[in-house]
């Protein structure tokens, strides 16, 4: 079964399929290894890992596409791209959609913020007119229908923070009518808001739980409860970059403060060299060398 078909089936079952965010190929591979069904590329995470900058529209679209390609190639489960505002107008958004589909992604998020955009849980957001976003979605949907009808277009609206739930629901329905497959109200606040949105939106709803640990703007609700509500997808977009930040800060702080300059025997800080190299496939590459390299070259390399 195609990855796009797998993702579409999971979302349309409205069982709150959990799609964690990754910030690079390694974090994507870890998420897959831990048993999740699909992965979301995190624009917030890309900005942090690539530039050490906040998610305020600083990452160039070429970099987004290159990094997404790396992630798609690293895993065997469906990957949803994050194309922010689509790279410009409807024509740009259609071109980006074509690139994302041909690289093997299973879906994308596109949002109705004014460029330069910002993380959905930051203050100071602005949105474009709904009619302009409808044009972007129609253009993306035409590309989807031509290349892979199962590809998921997730239409995100950031209008909740600007104009409230009524306008967010109205926009979601406009976007679904224009050809989106999934609707996403970023920054939605409460359980009651989510329950109402699920009932009034004419398609599956995506809910963002940010890091799954601490509520930012959206109330943390257990996944089984979201499934009972009929939510289609749950994204947890920033956990990977936040976990990495905390782990590196703690390790290098301990290393710097160590009176010996080392942390001998404190294996709790990191994976072993063998564990890590096995995870990233070093043994597989050694097998390929044994299969394809001349025997004398192998003996010289590994004598």
Query: Is 249 a domain residue?
Result: no
153 and 282 in a single domain? The answer is no
User: Residue 214's pLDDT band (boundaries 50, 70, 90)?
Assistant: confident
In the prediction, which pLDDT does 128 show?
Answer: 96
Average pLDDT over all residues of the chain: 96
**Pairing between β-strand 39-41 and β-strand 79-82 as defined by DSSP bridges:** parallel
**Locus of tokens 């041909």:** 102
Tokens representing 216? Answer: 């930012």
Task: Spell 217-237 as b/e; 16+ CB within 10 A means b.
Answer: bbeebebeebbebbbbbbbbb
Q: Is the pLDDT of residue 292 over 90?
A: yes
303/218 same-domain check: no
* Residue at 86 is within a domain: yes
> Which residues span the domain enclosing 297?
271-303
Mean pLDDT of 143-171: 97
The closest of 173, 111, 106 to 144, measured between CA atoms, is 106
pLDDT of residue 115: 87
Residue whose structure tokens are 């609707």 = 183
Q: What does the pLDDT read at residue 121? A: 74
Give pLDDT, residue 152: 98
pLDDT of residue 203: 98
Q: What does the pLDDT read at residue 143?
A: 98
Any domain includes 252? no
Residues 280, 217 share a domain: no
Please determine, for residue 266, whether its predicted confidence score (pLDDT) is greater than 80: yes
Average pLDDT over residues 153-175: 97
pLDDT band at 188 (very low <50, low <70, confident <90, very high): very high
Query: Do 7 and 136 share a structural domain?
Result: yes
Give the count of domains, the chain. 2
Are 179 and 279 in the same domain? no
Whole-prediction pTM: 0.94
**Residue 111: pLDDT over 80:** yes
- Residues 168 and 299 grouped into a single domain: no
Contact 269, 263 (CB under 8 A): yes
* Four-CA torsion 196, 199, 201, 207, nearest 10 degrees: 60
Can you tell me the mean pLDDT for 83-104? 97
Would you state the pLDDT for residue 122?
A: 73
Domain annotation covers residue 67: yes
| Same domain (yes/no): 240, 278 | no
Residues 37-50 have pLDDT tens digits of 999 999 999 999 99
The yes-or-no verdict on residue 119 having pLDDT over 80 is no
Q: How confident is the model at residue 303 (pLDDT cuts 50, 70, 90)?
A: confident
Same domain, 210 and 112: yes
Whether residue 214 lies inside any domain: the answer is yes
* CA 60/CA 90 separation, integer angstroms: 17
pLDDT of residue 241: 97
Domain final position from 228, 244, 260: 244
- Asked if residue 186 has pLDDT above 80, the reply is yes
* Domain assignment of residue 236, yes or no: yes
Q: Give the number of other Cβ atoms within 10 Å of residue 9's Cβ.
A: 12
Rounded mean pLDDT, 119-148: 93
3-state DSSP call for residue 18? Answer: strand
**Domain check: are 47 and 181 in the same one?**
yes
Please state, in angstroms and rounded to a whole number, the distance separating the CA atoms of residues 53 and 41: 16
Burial class (CB in 10 A: 0-12, 13-18, 19+), 162: middle
What's the rounded Cα separation, in Å, for the pair 30 and 179? 33
User: What span, in angstroms and rounded, lies between the C-alpha atoms of 124 and 113?
Assistant: 11
Integer Cα distance of 88 and 22 in angstroms: 24
CATH code (residue 146): 3.20.20.60
Let me know whether 22 and 165 are in one domain: yes
- Number of residues written out for the chain: 303
pLDDT class of 138 with cuts at 50, 70, 90: very high
For β-strands 152-157 and 182-185, DSSP reports them as parallel
164 and 52 both lie in a single domain: yes
Q: Residue 150 falls within a domain, yes or no?
A: yes
Q: Is residue 29 part of a domain?
A: yes
Pair (180, 275) in one structural domain: no
Residue 236's pLDDT band (boundaries 50, 70, 90)? very high
Which structure tokens are listed for 27? Answer: 């974090």
| Mean pLDDT (whole number) for 256-265 | 97
Separation of alpha carbons 118 and 156, rounded Å: 13
């Amino acid at each position: 079964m195609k990855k796009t078909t797998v993702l579409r089936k999971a979302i349309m079952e409205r069982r709150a399929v959990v799609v964690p965010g990754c910030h690079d190929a390694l974090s994507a591979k870890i998420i897959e290894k831990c048993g999740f069904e699909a992965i979301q590329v995190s624009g917030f995470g890309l900005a942090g890992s690539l530039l050490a900058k906040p998610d305020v529209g600083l990452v160039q679209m070429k970099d987004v596409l290159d990094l997404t390609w790396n992630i798609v190639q690293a895993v065997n489960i469906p990957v949803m791209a994050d194309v922010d505002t689509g790279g410009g107008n409807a024509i740009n958004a259609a071109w980006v959609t074509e690139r994302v589909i041909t690289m093997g992604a299973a879906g994308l998020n596109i949002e109705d913020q004014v460029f330069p955009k910002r993380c959905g849980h930051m203050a100071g957001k602005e949105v474009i007119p709904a009619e302009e976003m409808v044009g972007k979605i129609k253009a993306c949907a035409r590309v989807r229908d031509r290349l892979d009808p199962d590809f998921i277009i997730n239409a995100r609206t950031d209008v909740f923070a600007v104009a409230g739930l009524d306008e967010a629901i109205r926009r979601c329905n406009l976007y679904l009518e224009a050809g989106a497959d999934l609707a996403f109200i970023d920054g939605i606040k409460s359980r009651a808001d989510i329950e109402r949105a699920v009932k009034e939106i004419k398609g599956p709803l995506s809910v963002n739980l940010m890091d799954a640990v601490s509520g930012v703007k959206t109330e943390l609700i257990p996944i089984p409860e979201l499934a009972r509500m009929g939510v289609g997808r749950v994204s947890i977009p920033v956990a990977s970059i936040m976990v990495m930040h905390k782990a590196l800060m703690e390790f290098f702080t301990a290393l710097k403060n160590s009176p010996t300059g080392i942390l001998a025997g404190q294996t709790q800080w990191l994976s072993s060299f063998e564990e890590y190299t096995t995870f990233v496939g070093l043994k597989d590459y050694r097998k390929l060398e044994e299969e394809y390299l001349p025997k004398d070259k192998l003996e010289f390399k590994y004598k």
